[in-house]
Structure 1
Amino acid sequence: MSHTSSYFIGRSPVPTPAVPPGPARAPALAVHPALRLLAAGVCCLLALGLVGLVFVWTQPGQWVDGLLLPRAERGGGYAQPGGLFEPATVVLRHFGHPALLAVLLAAVLVVGALGRRLLPGVVGVGLVLGAVLVAGAAKSALPRPELAVAGSTTHNSFPSGHVAVAAALALAFLLVTPDAARRWLVVPGAAGVSVIGAATMIAGWHRFSDVLGGVLVSLTLFCLAAAGLAVRVGGDTRRPAAAPRSGRVWRALAQGAVGLLVLVWAVRVLLPGLAAELRWGPLVAVLAATGLTVLALGGAAFLVRSMEFVGSTRPAGRRAHSIDEREQYS
């Protein structure tokens, strides 16, 4: 049996031409969640100022507000005639009761404590109280100029305090719930805020721009609060292994389909009653405010995606250092 060798005998191997290395690709820089939320908060603040500038301090804006919610023929107010006026006042009277607000704030704290998110719960309560203070201060400090618009009034009601509180409560629950549950809170939360906003317009307490301003006040404060929590608690903490991309896509599509079906059902059930009781101007104002509220809460849930806000209240850098120390000495 002969043994063959795999080595070259009497000749040198043919050298393989070297491939020149290409230019090194710089790694993509990840944006810290706090910076993303801070940028979103600045954008919401600019949007709030733009809404106030257009609808409160310009003649076309005051005219659009008056077109959507014309003044009542009797009493000189903006209350809309029809069978929805009395239910609207009942909703506002019950929602503004201090006992109900106290129960809802306590629920934020309880949910946060049960999920080891006590600090986000405290921040959520501060978010609601901050919305009350900011909305009240803005209404007192900002003037509404007289621009010779027929049917307008110099009484400033921008932004709506009721809508700001309702939106802040819905956003506070986003801070204290797990990431997987937040998307399921968007539709019921937006529905609650939309009911309060529609009630303020039907009862003649606020204009369309006031409702939009109330939502933007709370959304701005939410982004700032979530940015602070992302720095303090660490944002993306203790997340399980990511599912395959195809699984995430199908899950997102299924959840979006469920939310869309709920919205279509709500519109199909409520729209005939609203159309029968409201004129086209208030009807457009209610539907537009509802759609913008859904977008606002959905955007808030998207901004804090994959952020759990769970764990120690120490800064993220110090916690990461402690983890490295434990791994080193274990």
Structure 2
Amino acid sequence: MTIGSSYPVGRSTPGPPPARPLPTARVAVPLGLRLLVAALCCLVALALTAAVFVRTYPGQWLDGLLLPRAERGGGYEQETALVGPAKTVLATFGNPTLLAALLGAVLLVGVLRRRLVAGVVGVGLVVGTVLTAGAVKSALPRPDLQLESSTTHNSFPSGHVAAATALLLAFMLVLPGWARRWGAVPGAAGVSVIASATMIAGWHRFSDVLGGVLLGVALFCLAAAALAGPRGDREAGRGPDGGSLWRGLAEVAVGLVALVWAVVVVVPGLAASVQRGALVAIVVAGGSTMLLVGSVVFLVRSADFVVPRRARRGGRRSSTDFQKIS
């Protein structure tokens, strides 16, 4: 009788299959860095817009082609029945009481959502944008390039458009993610209306409007980057679930309905009321506003602009932080 192991001698025992290497995790770019890159792109575009439209002959000629000077009075006011409504829109938006109420609403939403620092930064964003637009407008010379349709008066960038853009984006700092996405489209439409009114009323050229939007978006990206700090987007690594998919489809559907309505209803009405150059300027300015605002709102779609306790206390950790570490 043979005494020994029942396992075969000289043969390796079967073991578990070799473990497969884990897929390399994609390193997410921090939100603050993405916002800084976006701000740099907007500032470069702002500088190029000023250099081309203000300092060069073709740029001034294109501004005059889109919004020609009126034959009477020498101003840029367009010959259309929309001049009256445009001036009403500008007067309403420029009302100090309304502006103070809107800034107060930014602070109120920040307090209710416990984002007071973000609310204060939002108010500072609007004030800083207005002051910056005025400083650039005063410091930037507009040379006389012997164009009949141009003047040496500089109006780049538009303070009204810059303020409207900054005000809309200030709310993006204090609103939750779902409200940002739903508020971006009507908010950008409101900015487009103010931009169109400045051109119809003859207050600003097309390049002024584009510069105002770029300035407001650039300063918002800087302010949002300062609030975000080194933290990344908290939802960057999450995959799409069923709820987010349906929500995204609903938002796209609403955007398409609004776009179709604008093409079918608004554009034909504008085409019958303004000249072709002004119509092109209004459509391009509105499209640019939608694109720029939509892009930065997409960047901060899931960001929660909360200042960490350690940042508020000058880098000292609270007892809660020590409990989490231990």
User: TM-score scaled by structure 1?
Assistant: 0.89
Q: Distance in 1 between matches of 2:6 and 2:113?
A: 67
**Shift in Å at residue 260 of structure 1?**
1.6
Counterpart-to-counterpart distance in 2, 1:276 and 1:63 = 25
Give the number of equivalent residue pairs.
322
1:8-54 Cα offsets, whole Å, 9 max, x none, are: 14x12237799999999765433221111111111110010011111
Measured at CA, do residues 253 and 318 of structure 1 come closer, stay the same or move farther in structure 2, by a change above 3 Å? farther
Deviates more, 1:319-328 or 1:160-169: 319-328
Q: 1:170 aligns with which of 156, 168, 173?
A: 168
Distance across 1 between alignment mates of 2:233 and 2:223:
15
The code of the aligned residue for 2:226 comes to G
- Are residue 260 (structure 1) and residue 256 (structure 2) matched? yes
Look up the match of 1:325: 322
Taking the TM superposition and a 5 Å limit, the aligned residue runs for 1:85-124 are 85-124=83-122
Show structure 2 runs of 5+ residues with no match: none
Distance between the aligned counterparts of 1:301 and 1:119, measured in 2? 19
* Correspondent of 2:247 among 236, 245, 251: 251
Residue deviations 1:65-122, cap 9 Å, x none?
1110000010000000111011111111121111111011001101111111111110
C-alpha change, 1:102 and 1:19, in structure 2 (3 Å) is same
Q: Deviations over 1:167-197 (max 9, x none)?
A: 0000001111001211111111111101110
Is the contact made by 1:159 and 1:209 (CA closer than 8 Å) also made in structure 2? Answer: yes
Query: What is the CA distance between 1:253 and its match in structure 2?
Result: 2.4
Structure 2 residue identity aligned to 1:211: V
- The verdict on how the C-alpha distance between 1:187 and 1:6 changes in structure 2, with shifts beyond 3 A counting, is farther
Query: 1:8: which partner in 2?
Result: 7
Deviations 1:118-140 (A, max 9, x none): 11110000000011111000110
Give the match's secondary structure for 1:315: helix
Please name the residue that 1:305 is paired with.
Answer: 301
Match for residue 181 of structure 1? 179
| Residues 29-68 of structure 1: pairs in structure 2 closer than 5 A | 29-68=27-66
Displacement of 1:147: 1.3
2 CA distance for matches of 1:313 and 1:130?
A: 26
Structure 2 match to 1:221: 219
Change (3 A) 1:282 1:15: same
Question: What is the CA–CA distance in structure 2 between the aligned matches of 1:240 and 1:229, rounded to whole Å?
Answer: 17
Quick one: distance in 1 between partners of 2:158 and 2:127?
Answer: 14
Work out whether residues 120 and 175 of structure 1, in 8 Å CA contact, stay in contact via their aligned partners in 2. yes
The residue number in structure 2 matching 1:283 is: 279
Q: Does the 8 A contact of 2:309 with 2:317 survive in 1?
A: no
Q: How far apart, in 2, do the equivalents of 1:288 and 1:23 lie? A: 51
The one-letter amino acid paired with 1:174 is: M
Match for 1:152: what amino acid? S
Which runs of structure 2 are paired with 1:200-239 in the superposition (5 Å)?
200-231=198-229, 234=231, 236=233
Q: CA RMSD in A?
A: 3.0
Unaligned runs of 5+ in 1: none
| Identity score, percent | 59
Secondary structure (helix, strand or coil) at the match of 1:256 reads helix
Mapped contact 1:175–1:226 kept (Cα < 8 A): yes
Residue by residue, what CA displacement relative to the aligned partner does 1:130-179 show, whole Å, maximum 9, x if unpaired? Answer: 11111000110000111122311111000000000000000001111001
Distance 2:79 2:195 in 1: 17
> Structure 1's 60 and 318: CA in aligned 2 closer, same or farther, altered over 3 A?
same
Separation in structure 2 between the aligned mates of residue 323 and residue 58 of structure 1, nearest angstrom: 60
What TM-score, normalized to structure 2? 0.90
Q: Distance in 1 between matches of 2:309 and 2:53?
A: 42
Which of 67, 70, 75 is equivalent to 1:77?
75
* Alpha-carbon distance in structure 2 between the residues aligned to 1:313 and 1:59: 54
